[in-house]
Structure 1
């Protein structure tokens, strides 16, 4: 099983930014700041994700799901990462929907699913950790990972499948699929998820509501 390094922190020469490697489902390398919120009883670390400092002119500075708002309390995006599983939760400032994603890690691959209004989509991607900037570190506490992942309503139905959940406007249609169904394999960032009536958009499409 894939073991993603969580505790290694390196400080690059000439830079005051500490960095660590995290696997964030669907994301390419980009400026990201991660704050430790705590570690649960099973050793999963919960991170609050935010827009990171741009250190290279070629880098883009629009990380979806991480903006801060004066009208909001707490992180808009959280990542709960263990040795064999990862969950990602995102809520836009306007609370239009909640995206909760859970992935199982096996053989260097991440098998992730998304459920929105009864529609389940499963996608497989290479589980490549990316460097993130380590921000402030909150006092470690127990069970914070479970709380942060509570918006992901699905639970793994088998060892090779995990669920992702996202809720939006209620719909009456319902379709389901499982890991046995054909999956899309991609190494590209911004995993596609269905939002409304089968419409697929990338995670970057919601970035505009986060630049507050």
Structure 2
């Protein structure tokens, strides 16, 4: 029985190695979100953000938002699923030395925000950027960073956020960082797998 317990502990360790990463989400108060990677281009990863399965009504976020994030840039776009809410958000941040300078529009109001980049734990594989480790698994759960949020109003805006592109130096830096993260993640997976094998040997 003790050998079986060790085996299950080893399996749990492998699952943890495969599923731990984090993500910086600008403009959101802390709440449970589900994140899916839509694609990667020019050093930026596009995420589809939705409420997590265990999210409650008090979290306040419904529908789907799109996050584009890289080593020096992050943007968030959102359109409320209920047309009567008339809420559209376009939010873009330039990131430098761990500080995000953000601007955009929400419900017709101008947003200006400077905040410290803070990544929060999520489930899923990861690639690392200056903005924090970002999930690359098909589905992840996270708690978003704390910052000011837009108030819902009757007005609407058409503000959107789009990537302005990065220089070749930034792209190279992001690629190098991604490679380092991949090596780190691979090391965790190997360690977890070794634990599983040792557990099997103990059982046998």
TM-score relative to the length of structure 2: 0.49
Higher helix share: 2
Which structure has the higher relative contact order (CA within 8 Å, separation 6+)?
2
Q: For the pair shown, which has the larger CA radius of gyration, 1 or 2? A: 2
